[in-house]
Amino acid sequence: MNDYGEQIVPGFAYRFQGEQLVSERSDFQQIDIYENPSFGRLLMLDGLTQTTERDEFIYHEMLVHVPLMSLENPRRVLIIGGGDGGTLRRVLEHPSVKLAVMVEIDRRVTELCRELMPSIAGDAFDDPRAEVLFADGIAYVRDGGEAFDAILIDSSDPVGPGEGLFTIDFYRAAAARLTDGGVLCAQSGSPGFQQDELHRAYSHATKAFGDVRVYVGFVPTYPGGMWSFTLAGAALSLDPSAAAARAAERKIGARYWRPELQRGAFDVPQIVHDVIAPDGPPHTWGLSPAEHDRA
């Protein structure tokens, strides 16, 4: 039984046990997949937990359903990253979606997840509405083309290939690729342990969008459990009763998301407000290793 894990901040780490199924260095990152007795198969990139078979539904439902339920009729959706296919699967649960383009930089992540963690994507990769491209999402968004009703950033942390997905230039380029009333939603890290990441995602998004809000969900295998998402658009509409009607009409069977979260998930604790405040972040619990190295 392997013992592996993730250093969260100096002196505090997450430890997992289980058999290692794959350990491969791709052109972009270190890819490791493990078998874990409690969370099923678990993907790590560059030593950071990305997704597990048993709690992926929480992250993916919150990244997808909150933005798509805020839209009356989402038809064209762009996913940046999301190599495991969990975001693509939830997007395709919305019947109004006619095209879901997924732009993943690392083909090996998708190939290995399809082979070893197929339950996460289900049959999303075979859906005729899905278009999967292996390319850099930053260039794809920057280089123009057709507009989307929603752009979902399911990226790894802002290190390595994911760094450029948290910049003002990227958010401005993404804003230009949205239809009128379109929204962008990005995973923005742990409000406890990645306070610089969340502060940067939020403050940069406010330079590109008129209405930017942060909401949270709880993903057990992510650092600290509480995870943040940054939703942005010209004028967001977050109405639980409209979402309830849409969920019924779209027959969305969710295990974590519920219509009340269209408002409830945005009632974030004071610490999140402190992190995104102009004079934030407060660095409540020490700096993360990356921040520590930079400090």
104-139 as b/e, with b when 16 or more CB fall inside 10 Å?
A: bbbbbbbebbeebbeebbbebbebebbebeeebbbe
Nearer to ligand SAM by C-beta: 112 or 259? 112
Cα angle vertex 190, ends 195, 120, to 5°?
150
AA identity, residue 67: P
Distance (Å, whole) CA 47 – CA 166: 20
**Do 62 and 265 meet the contact criterion of CB atoms below 8 Å apart?**
yes
Residues 232-291 touching ligand SAM, rule: CB under 6 A, are none
Neighbours of 78 (CB within 10 A): 28
Q: How many Å separate Cα 274 from the centre of its chain?
A: 22
CB of 26 vs ligand SAM, minimal distance in Å: 8
The residue within the footprint of ligand SAM, chosen from 80, 132, 184, 185 (CB under 6 A), is 80
**Do 92 and 204 meet the contact criterion of CB atoms below 8 Å apart?**
no
Longest dimension (CA), the chain: 52
* 3-state DSSP assignment of residue 103: strand
CB of 116 vs ligand SAM, minimal distance in Å: 13
Q: Tell me which residue has tokens 């998402």.
A: 229
Q: Which of 32, 154, 157, 196 is catalytic?
A: 154
Asked if residue 104 binds ligand SAM (CB under 6 A), the reply is: yes
Contacts of residue 258, Cβ cutoff 8 Å, sequence gap at least 6: none
CB of 150 vs ligand SAM, minimal distance in Å: 16
Residues 59-78 touching ligand SAM, rule: CB under 6 A, are 59
CB of 92 vs ligand SAM, minimal distance in Å: 17
What are the beta bridge partners of residue 131? 101
Tell me the window of 79-87, 122-130, 201-209, 238-246 that interacts with ligand SAM (CB under 6 A): 79-87
Q: Which DSSP category does 281 fall into? A: -
CB of 36 vs ligand SAM, minimal distance in Å: 16
The residue within the footprint of ligand SAM, chosen from 36, 70, 155, 228 (CB under 6 A), is 155
Question: Annotated catalytic, 196?
Answer: no
Nearer to ligand SAM by C-beta: 45 or 208? 45
Element (H, E) at 44: strand 40-45
Q: Which residue is nearest to ligand SAM (CB)?
A: 81
Distance (Å, whole) CA 295 – CA 284: 15
x/- track of binding to ligand SAM for residues 125-154 (CB under 6 A)? -----------xxx---------------x
x/- track of binding to ligand SAM for residues 156-175 (CB under 6 A)? x----xx-xx----------
Neighbours of 206 (CB within 10 A): 17
The residue within the footprint of ligand SAM, chosen from 103, 132, 205, 243 (CB under 6 A), is 103
Nearer to ligand SAM by C-beta: 70 or 188? 188
The residue within the footprint of ligand SAM, chosen from 81, 191, 233, 259 (CB under 6 A), is 81
Nearer to ligand SAM by C-beta: 177 or 246? 177
CB of 137 vs ligand SAM, minimal distance in Å: 3
Count H helices, E strands: the chain? Answer: 11, 12
**Site residues (CB under 6 A) for ligand SAM?**
28, 45, 50-51, 59, 80-84, 103-106, 109, 136-138, 154-156, 161-162, 164-165, 187
Question: Which residues carry out catalysis?
Answer: 154
